């Protein structure tokens, strides 16, 4: 029987961080593409992945391309090809997510070709891991051009939301659908919102998706009634499809933290100006909306992520025409930080943001490069801590071996989320404290298998961490 030895160490949240700043934007390798779309991001273990669409010279050749940031070498590798090339392939909506169980990467994209009856149109998915890239498989056939979004959670279940374009010109309209990956098969499509044509043209577009700490998804989308020029953001809970929010505005982004808060961000249009609004959903109620930004950019894009310290991050663009500006903020201690310049003076489109397990923060976007648009990235040097943001709430975290020696007794804040990380930064288990703040980790991973000997970090929702050694 293995023995458990406890070693306690307070991690970098309580150490003075380096001066926070974003690195100079750097172009990702593009293999001489004429134009590249904005990139989507995912983290697997200690590596960072990005995918995007590249357009090449010639007969409108488009490809889904992907690259990995290799933590050991500190650089991006050459792009790999996720979809076969063709002069007539129309590929849009690339998105990806990490599979926390198999430690692979799932990529989804829309693909079709002209004429329609010659090839299968629809959403394709492909899995990639250290052994290579699988052949893309048709996941959702007979769907029209639309955006696709993948999300996964600690339980390993992966969800997909997308828009499906229907109708006949000029009354094209979009609906929003949802499916989950179970036993390597996507479930039957579930309609979340139906668009409609004549006499009233209504589009349901721009799906967003996130997971809570259990098996529930949250989905958001924009509903646009063109005859009234009205924009609404709808948010529902899955799988029961209960509506939890309807707001004015469009372009929603949503995220769920380890302490049970759902953050929703969307854009409200008022004349020539747009206003970026955020709200939190806690204990069945929404907080008052807060304006983070306003300028003359119509339908400005923004993205959200949660870092390992439990902080919400948002990245958004400002400016009506080049040079546009890209900013980031984090939410801590009940307030948003001041804007941080990420890509000032750079044209930015559909930015993305993500945090690695070690706390590194990355932003990607599309901007002008040699010969056309390129994919750029920037990394934040330093992350928020007590020294940078003094009113981040402290949290008591205590970890002791159980009397039987088969696990650890943990004391944290009531209902707090506690995550266990391996030495390489991979999340191996996630647990929720009881109402009295108590819980126990029996040294198993998400699948119930005992983890191997080594060093593990037990981290509470606001970032306080203790290190344990399993022998």
**Number of compact structural domains in the chain:** 2
pLDDT of 201: 86
* Whether 402 and 316 share a structural domain: no
Where does a domain end: 332, 361, 381?
381
Residue 429 and residue 374 in one domain: no
- Whether residues 340 and 359 share a domain: the answer is yes
Residue 154 in this model has a pLDDT that exceeds 60: no
User: Which band of pLDDT confidence, cut at 50, 70 and 90, is reported for residue 242?
Assistant: very high
Calculate what percentage of the chain has a pLDDT beyond 90: 11
Q: What pLDDT, in 10s, does the model give residues 22-46?
A: 888 888 776 666 666 667 787 776 6
148 shares its domain with 213: yes
Tokens representing 118? 């010659």
**How big is the chain by its Cα radius of gyration, in Å?**
22
- Report the range of poorest mean pLDDT among 116-125, 156-165, 196-205, 245-254: 116-125
Would the pLDDT of 179 be above 70?
Answer: yes
Which domain CATH number covers 196? 2.120.10.10
pLDDT at 117: 44
* Average pLDDT, integer, range 425-437: 77
Residue 165, pLDDT score:
80
Residues 33 and 155 in one domain: yes
| 426 and 409 within one domain | yes
Count how many residues are written for the chain.
471
Comparing 85-99, 158-172, 430-444, the range with the smallest average pLDDT is 85-99
* pLDDT band for position 279 (cuts 50, 70, 90): very high
299 vs 128, more confident: 128
Phi, psi dihedral angles at 87 (to 5 degrees) = -70, -15
The domain containing residue 181 runs over which residues?
A: 19-381
Please state, in angstroms and rounded to a whole number, the distance separating the CA atoms of residues 171 and 125.
29
Most confident option among 6-10, 65-69, 285-289, 380-384:
285-289
Q: Which of 158-172, 233-247, 289-303, 385-399 has the highest mean pLDDT?
A: 233-247
Same domain, yes or no: 423 and 281: no
pLDDT of residue 270: 76
Return the bridge partners of 91, or none: 111
Whole-number Å distance between alpha carbons of 29 and 27: 6
Q: Which long-range contacts (CB under 8 A, 24 or more apart) does 320-329 make?
A: 320/295, 320/296, 322/347, 322/368, 323/347, 324/297, 324/348, 324/349, 326/351, 326/363, 326/365, 327/293, 328/22, 328/353, 328/361, 328/363, 328/380, 329/292
Question: Above 90 in pLDDT, residue 152?
Answer: no
Backbone angles phi, psi at 275, to 5 degrees: -130, 125
For residue range 341-360, what is the model confidence (pLDDT) as tens digits? 887 666 666 788 888 766 67
- 234-269 b/e with 16+ CB inside 10 Å = b? bbbbbeeeeeebebebbbbbbbbbbbbbbbbbbbbb
Verify that 292 and 401 share a domain, yes or no. no
What does the alpha-carbon distance between residue 356 and residue 108 come to, in Å, rounded to a whole number? 21
**Domain co-membership, 396 together with 308:** no
Instruction: Name the domain boundary from 381, 398, 420.
Output: 381
Which of 7-16, 200-209, 367-376, 428-437 is predicted with the least confidence, judged by mean pLDDT?
7-16
Same domain, 210 and 261: yes
Average pLDDT over the chain reads: 75
pLDDT at 386: 36
Same domain, 316 and 175: yes
| Banded pLDDT at 121 (limits 50, 70, 90) | confident
Statement to judge: residues 310 and 184 lie in one domain: yes
Domain end point (choices 381, 416, 448)? 381
Mean pLDDT for the stretch of residues 396-404? 77
pLDDT at 427 over 80: no
- Check residue 67 and give its pLDDT: 77
Helices and strands in the chain, H and E counts: 0, 43
**SS3 state of residue 14:** helix
Give the residue, 380 or 461, on which the prediction is more confident.
Answer: 380
128 contact partners, CB below 8 Å, separation of at least 6: 66, 80, 82, 104, 105, 107, 134
User: Which CATH number fits the domain that encloses residue 434?
Assistant: 2.60.40
- What share of the chain in percent tops pLDDT 70? 70
Residue 176: half-sphere exposure toward Cβ, Cα within 13 Å: 24
């Amino acid at each position: 029987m293995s023995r458990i030895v406890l070693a306690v160490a307070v991690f970098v949240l309580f150490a003075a961080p380096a001066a926070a700043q974003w690195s100079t934007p750097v172009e990702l390798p593009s293999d001489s593409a004429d134009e590249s779309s904005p990139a989507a991001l995912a983290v697997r273990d200690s590596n960072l992945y990005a995918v995007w669409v590249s357009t090449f010279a010639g007969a409108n050749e488009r490809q889904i391309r992907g690259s990995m940031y290799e933590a050991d070498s500190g650089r991006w590798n050459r792009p790999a090809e996720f979809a076969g090339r063709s002069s007539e392939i129309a590929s849009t909506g690339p998105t990806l997510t990490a599979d926390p169980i198999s430690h692979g990467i799932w990529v989804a994209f829309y693909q079709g070709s002209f004429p329609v009856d010659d090839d299968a149109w629809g959403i394709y998915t492909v899995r990639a891991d250290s052994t290579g890239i699988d052949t893309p498989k048709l996941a959702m056939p007979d769907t029209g051009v639309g955006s696709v979004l993948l999300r996964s959670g600690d339980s390993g279940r992966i969800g997909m939301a997308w828009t499906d374009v229907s109708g006949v010109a000029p009354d094209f309209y979009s609906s929003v659908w949802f499916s989950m990956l179970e036993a390597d098969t996507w479930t039957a499509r579930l309609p979340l919102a139906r668009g409609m044509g004549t006499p009233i043209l209504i589009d349901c577009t721009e799906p967003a998706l996130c997971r809570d700490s259990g098996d529930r998804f949250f989905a958001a989308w924009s509903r646009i009634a063109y005859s009234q020029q009205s924009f609404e953001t709808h948010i529902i809970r899955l799988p029961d499809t209960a509506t939890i929010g309807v707001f004015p505005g469009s372009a929603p982004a949503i995220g769920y933290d380890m302490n049970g808060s759902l953050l929703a961000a969307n854009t409200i249009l008022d004349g020539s100006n747009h206003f970026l609004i955020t709200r939190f959903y806690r204990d069945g109620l929404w907080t008052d909306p807060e304006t983070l930004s306003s300028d003359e950019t119509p339908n400005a894009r923004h993205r959200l992520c949660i870092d390992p310290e439990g902080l919400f991050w948002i990245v958004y663009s400002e400016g009506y025409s080049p040079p546009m500006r890209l900013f980031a903020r984090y939410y801590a201690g009940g307030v948003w930080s001041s804007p941080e310049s990420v890509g000032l003076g750079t044209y930015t489109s559909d930015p993305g943001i993500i945090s690695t397990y070690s706390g590194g923060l990355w932003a990607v976007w599309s901007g002008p490069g040699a010969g056309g648009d390129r994919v750029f990235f920037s990394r934040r040097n330093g992350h928020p801590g007590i020294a940078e943001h003094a009113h981040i709430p402290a949290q008591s975290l205590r970890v002791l071996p159980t009397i039987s020696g088969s696990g650890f007794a943990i004391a944290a804040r009531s209902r707090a989320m506690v995550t266990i990380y391996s030495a390489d930064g991979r999340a191996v288990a996630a647990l929720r404290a009881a109402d009295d703040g108590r819980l126990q980790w029996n040294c198993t991973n998400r699948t119930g298998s005992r983890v191997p000997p080594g060093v593990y970090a037990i981290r509470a929702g606001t970032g306080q961490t203790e290190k344990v050694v399993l022998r």
